[in-house]
């Protein structure tokens, strides 16, 4: 489980700094923290992700909530099968 630190920096554009496993996360737009009874706490971090790499066999996104996204698939294994893109 990742260690998330939210610190008051008191300088710059933002008054907070966010670190995940000791690495500072830039471009934070908002942070939401909630805790429900008998549940694990949830932290949602909204940040600008303009250059992103996702290592997953499945990628889901809601195309109604964003403008335009260009997705490039790279093959890392011996398979020559093309990835399936399903735009529902």
**DSSP string over 42-70:** EEEEEE--SS-----S-----GGGSS---
- The CA–CA distances, whole Å, from 70 to 1, 20, 44, 81 equal 30, 27, 24, 20
Q: Give every CB contact of residue 85 below 8 A, 6+ residues apart in sequence.
A: 71
Indicate the pLDDT class of residue 13, thresholds 50, 70 and 90: low
User: Which range, of 17-31, 42-56, 64-78, averages the lowest pLDDT?
Assistant: 64-78
Tell me the pTM.
Answer: 0.52
Residue 66 has pLDDT above 80, yes or no: no
d(CA 47, CA 55): 19
């Amino acid at each position: 489980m990742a260690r998330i630190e939210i610190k008051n920096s008191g300088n710059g554009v933002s008054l907070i700094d966010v670190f995940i496993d000791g690495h500072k996360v830039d471009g934070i737009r908002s942070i939401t923290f909630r805790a429900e009874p008998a549940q694990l706490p949830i932290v949602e971090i909204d940040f600008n992700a303009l250059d992103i790499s996702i290592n997953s066999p499945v990628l889901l996104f809601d195309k109604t909530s964003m403008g335009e996204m260009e997705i490039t698939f790279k093959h890392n294994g011996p398979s020559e099968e093309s990835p399936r893109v399903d735009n529902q």
